[in-house]
Structure 1
């Protein structure tokens, strides 16, 4: 199936960051893939790294968790202004639904802050050109509450007894291989 600009597409994405504070910390890596509504890939995956500015020190724990080092991003990366322009161009294509897992509460905040730091409108991509956002963690939570059969749910957290909705735990419980997991 060929892609036409009037067709709605989904741009799935995930960020790896050098910390948890979207106002201070920086994007380390961006990965995304555009699909049609039947989840067939359109084009090639996009993987971008962000060079660190000289006035920023990444959280060492984040480097340990992601396996992404400052040396790697400085070797492979774009400066933040180039990175965010490329991301914004993907997100702003007409009829794009930008989607991810816990992206509205985490990843989108990093995107907004990077847009703002680089003098770009942090919200326009969310509504202009018939674009929108979707966070599938809420879909997963609804499935857990309304129709839990058909999905293997990870064990509850021992300390609280609450269910876990971590993507890695869900994929492991359902024997879904994460090739090139990010």
Structure 2
């Protein structure tokens, strides 16, 4: 089994309507040792797709950035990601991935005539959302991890806040 840790950057917050603009992934073995080089892919956007201004502020990725970074049309972008996800015995791992990234990916695969579900179960594949594990750890075993709070003093499980509170680099 291998783990494929992945994340998307997108043109907005709606996985049904917005488009992926960047995909990053790292494949590891069960001991979490990298077994392949990191992957960073960019998609060029169709002229009718405009990123939400808030998405640009969060990601720092403009349509021009994607094109200048060797971005490919979404069909090629989707095909490359589909190949990575379809490697047998892959567990696709992300943070808030079940509620956003996986849904975004299914819509992208569907738009580009790829099976939107096979990567989740076929060939012994599976998926895991680390956000769900973080919620359980915080409730059941809170020691050993610094749990940040937001401006109102409420606990937050935002990935950027968790990594910052625990001294983990959070670079693109």
Matching residue within 139, 144, 148 for 2:138: 144
After superposition, where does 1:95-174 map in structure 2 within 5 Å?
Answer: 95-156=89-150, 158=152, 162-174=154-166
TM-score by length of 2: 0.96
Deviation at 1:25? 0.8
Detail structure 1 runs of 4+ shifted over 3 Å in the superposition. Answer: none
Q: 1:171 to 1:151 in 2, by over 3 A?
A: same
Instruction: Give, in whole Å, the separation in 1 of the partners of 2:143 and 2:47.
Output: 51
Cα distance, 1:65 vs structure 2: 1.3
What SS does the aligned partner of 1:82 have?
helix
CA distance in 1: counterparts of 2:150 and 2:44, whole angstroms: 38
Question: Which residue of structure 1 aligns with residue 61 of structure 2?
Answer: 68
Aligned pairs for 1:70-85 (under 5 A) are 70-75=63-68, 76-85=70-79
Contact kept, 8 Å, 1:157 with 1:163, in 2: the verdict is: no
String of CA shifts for 1:115-167, please: whole Å, max 9, x gaps. 00011110011010000100010111000000101111102551xx5420011
User: Residue 107 of structure 1: SS of its match in structure 2?
Assistant: helix
Aligned length: 171
Q: In structure 2, what is the equivalent of residue 3 of structure 1?
A: none
Whole-Å separation in 2 of the counterparts to 1:177 and 1:71: 26
Q: Alignment partner of 1:148: what SS?
A: coil
C-alpha distance in structure 2 between counterparts of 1:121 and 1:129, whole Å: 14
| CA–CA separation in structure 1 for the residues paired with 2:51 and 2:149 | 33
Q: Is the 8 A contact 1:152 1:173 kept in 2?
A: yes
The match for 1:24 is 17
Gaps of 5+ in 1: 1-7
Unpaired stretches in structure 2, ≥5 consecutive residues: none
